[in-house]
Structure 1
Amino acid sequence: TANPSKICGTGRSPKNYFYGLAMRTVTALHKVLIVRYSVDKFYRTYVSDKDD
């Protein structure tokens, strides 16, 4: 049986909706930061190895 609040998306209160929205935003930002950190780390390692 599916959860009605999941189908509706908003749930009972706007508080739950905003909480879900915030969690999705934080998760997306977290993924972006991880990718940027990995790319930056790889780039710095590559450049420093090339310079040395």
Structure 2
Amino acid sequence: MLGWAVTFLVIAIIAALFGFGGIAGASAGIAQILFFVFLVLFVVAMVARAVRGKPPV
């Protein structure tokens, strides 16, 4: 999921360089949403691992 966020961020940067503001804004928004979903899933996984008694890696 983090890879998809980086991909959309790169698309947004390239689109902004070429002047496509709408595409750049949409891609940046998608990248931001994917990044926050990744963070939430990562924290949930770490909490679940800690509850089961395994130390975080």
**TM-score normalized with structure 2 length:** 0.58
Q: Which residue in the other structure is 1:32 paired with?
A: 37
Count of matched residue pairs: 36
Structure 1: segments with no counterpart, 5+ residues: 1-13
Counterpart AA for 1:48: G
Structure 2: segments with no counterpart, 5+ residues: 1-18
- For residues 1-52 of structure 1, the C-alpha deviation after alignment (integer angstroms, 9 at most, x for no partner) is xxxxxxxxxxxxx711000000000000011000000000000011125xxx
Coordinate RMSD, CA, aligned: 1.6
Counterpart AA for 1:16: G
Distance 2:53 2:23 in 1: 44
Q: Which residue in the other structure is 1:23 paired with?
A: 28
Say which one has the larger Rg. 1
**TM-score normalized with structure 1 length:** 0.63
Quote the sequence identity (%). 17
- Runs of 4+, deviation exceeding 6 Å: none
